Amino acid sequence: MGMIEAILLTVITAATPLVLASVGELVTERTGVLNLGVEGMMVMGAAIAFAATQVTGSPYIGILAGIAGGALFSLLFGFLTLTLVANQVATGLALTILGLGVSGQIGEPYVGMSGARLEPITIPLLADIPFIGPLLFKQDIIFYISIALVIGVNWFLFKSRAGLKIRAIGDNHASAHALGIHVIRTRYLAVMFGGACAGLAGAQLSLVYTPQWVENMSAGRGWIALALVVFASWRPWRVLLGGYLFGAVSISQLHAQAFGIGIPSQFLSALPYAATIIVLILISHNRRMTLINTPASLGKPFVPDR
């Protein structure tokens, strides 16, 4: 039981950044904006959070700095794609490359330094429950935020008036604009929310998952988060399920080596990305289901009538 508990704890730690980044991108895509810059925003959040923690000595200030860094970086994407109407795919790819470079510069003075690890929050009594207690009630604050975000976003999108407007913009931005909905402003807010979530996911990487700065430490998690949104068919609760599934796959290499299973380490390292490709192939095979769930305006530019 102790070994199973340890494995599940590592799965939770590995899955949390995927869930956070995916939830943020899901809201962004629900408004019709395809942001491929999640990887860059995540690694920027990791660098800024670690640097802020080293300067202030407080990982909580680091968390806030990572969120702010991701949100501000997303504003650049919003300005280019929503105001200047640049191509969303090309802009997202460019910002990913930019984020990897800038984060390397920010984090260069801190390479090799050990960071202030974000300590778990122990909920009295509940944390003492055998097996379940340490898994659910003795975690860091970012884990609890990720669960709250999934619940909150699910309610917001499908139970609130503002969520209905967001889905209307994603399905038909021209009709939403004709009804008086502020398309560009809503998309800006959604892009910033997605960037903030990606920044928080990056902060989790440098403060919880690996409490140190390593260049390119996001290691493709932003791309997995993009695939998770499609895997979840733009439903928040499915993002939670998919995030933990992919988190389990991503840490399988560590436990396989610990158990002495004779599988090449290169294959195990590639396994999360191979799983991503397989999932996308399976999903694209059912085109009817994909078309039903995909926001109709996804990736399409919008220029309001003047």
pLDDT tens-digit series, residues 289-299: 666 678 989 99
Scanning the structure block, which residue is given the tokens 């039903």? Answer: 292
Residue 79 lies in a domain: yes
Quote the crossing angle between the two packed helices 141-159 and 59-78, to the nearest 10°: 40
Question: Per residue in 179-206, pLDDT tens?
Answer: 999 999 999 999 999 999 999 999 999 9
In this predicted structure, what is the pLDDT of residue 290? 64
Per-residue confidence band for 68, with pLDDT thresholds at 50, 70 and 90: very high
Residue 298 lies in a domain: no
Residue 262 lies in a domain: yes
Q: What is the number of domains present in the chain?
A: 1
Residues 39, 96: contact at Cβ < 8 Å?
A: yes
Question: Per residue in 137-165, pLDDT tens?
Answer: 889 999 999 999 999 999 999 999 999 99
Per-residue confidence band for 113, with pLDDT thresholds at 50, 70 and 90: confident
CA distance linking residue 277 with residue 224, whole number of Å: 9
Going by C-alpha positions, the residue among 36, 24, 297 that lies closest to residue 183 is 297
β-strand 121-122 against 138-139: which pairing, if any? Answer: antiparallel
In this predicted structure, what is the pLDDT of residue 6? 81
Supply the CATH number for residue 45's domain: 1.10.3470
Going by C-alpha positions, the residue among 83, 99, 122 that lies closest to residue 38 is 99
- The whole-chain average pLDDT of the chain stands at 89
Percent over 90 (pLDDT), the chain: 59
Residue 277 lies in a domain: yes
Residues 110, 51: contact at Cβ < 8 Å?
A: yes
Per-residue confidence band for 24, with pLDDT thresholds at 50, 70 and 90: very high
Instruction: Kindly report the number of other CB atoms within 10 A of residue 269's CB atom.
Output: 12
pLDDT of 306 over the 60 cut = no
Q: Where are the alpha helices (DSSP H) in the chain?
A: 2-30, 38-56, 59-78, 88-107, 132-136, 141-159, 161-171, 173-178, 183-204, 221-231, 236-258, 265-285, 287-293
Coil, helix or strand at residue 35: coil
Residue 124 lies in a domain: no
Q: What's the token pair of residue 221?
A: 């998690």
The pair phi, psi for residue 179, each rounded to 5°, is: -85, 0
Q: Which is more confident, 116 or 287?
A: 116
Going by C-alpha positions, the residue among 247, 298, 296, 300 that lies closest to residue 16 is 247
Residue 302 lies in a domain: no
In this predicted structure, what is the pLDDT of residue 128? 85
CA angle 74, 75, 79 (to 5 degrees): 120
Residue 127 lies in a domain: no
Q: Which is more confident, 278 or 68?
A: 68
Question: Domain limits at 69?
Answer: 2-119+136-293
Q: What's the token pair of residue 4?
A: 């199973």
pLDDT of 83 over the 60 cut = yes
pLDDT of 73 over the 70 cut = yes
Question: Per residue in 199-240, pLDDT tens?
Answer: 999 999 999 998 889 888 998 899 999 989 988 889 999 899
In this predicted structure, what is the pLDDT of residue 118? 83
Residue 216 lies in a domain: yes
